[in-house]
Amino acid sequence: MSMDIDCLPFKNTGYFSKLICDYLAEKEELASFYNRFPNLAGFQKQIAEKKTSFSVANRKVLQKSLLNQYENYQISKCTQSHINSIVDENAFTVVTGHQLNLFTGPLYFLYKIISTINLCKDLKKAYPEQHFVPIYWMATEDHDFEEINYFNFKGKKIQWNKDASGAVGHLNTEGLEEVLNTYADLLGTSVNATALKELFEAAYIKHDTLTEATRYLANALFGEYGL
């Protein structure tokens, strides 16, 4: 007898606390702790609320900030279109966030962003009169360097050894050549291996700070989807 794991309930996985499982099950006793549940009906009410909450002047501030951040980056037509649309009262951002993990770090860095992009697509289908902009917020002010200074590959921990303090987003990328060399040795010489080496180099060796490097990386991976 086989099990359809695509339909495995969260509570049966053993990975989530009772609190999280109760929230996902929309238990009534938790309803007072959040504004609304993120289903399509909930988003309809969220759209109505947010539409009256942000003036055109505030939207222009956000747009200007994004344009400044991308000033020295090549962006896709889709990303440019999303930035342009932010001043429209029918445009809404869908935001995810994560620390500046080295070369994405854990897989859920990617899952978060992909889920946000897919949610924007689903919302556009449900509410075609609105525009939905997927945004990845970089936690540049996070101070936990030990949490973000490594990634795992082929069972090995590839670590950026550096004396660091303060906000990680301001850290210079000095020392990452060593990480690239270690990573390159493990990757091999396949076409995909070469592409990954080039991506790492373009992001981390050719940019001065971890913020700039992570922005480049996220844009390179997801720019075609308008992130």
pLDDT at position 85 is 96
The vertex-38 CA angle with 36 and 39, nearest 5°, equals 110
Going by C-alpha positions, the residue among 131, 1, 6, 143 that lies closest to residue 59 is 131
Question: What global pTM score does this model have?
Answer: 0.90
**pLDDT at residue 3 in the model:** 58
Q: What is the pLDDT of residue 71?
A: 94
Question: Is residue 53 classed as helix, strand or coil in its secondary structure?
Answer: coil
Instruction: State the 10-residue block means of pLDDT for the chain, 227 residues long.
Output: 69 92 95 93 93 92 96 96 96 96 94 97 96 96 94 94 92 96 94 97 97 98 97
Nearest Cα to Cα of residue 163 among 151, 175, 154: 175
CA distance 225 to 219: 9
Cα–Cα distance, 28 to 171 (Å, whole number): 45
Residue (of 158, 164, 167) closest to 102 by Cα position: 158
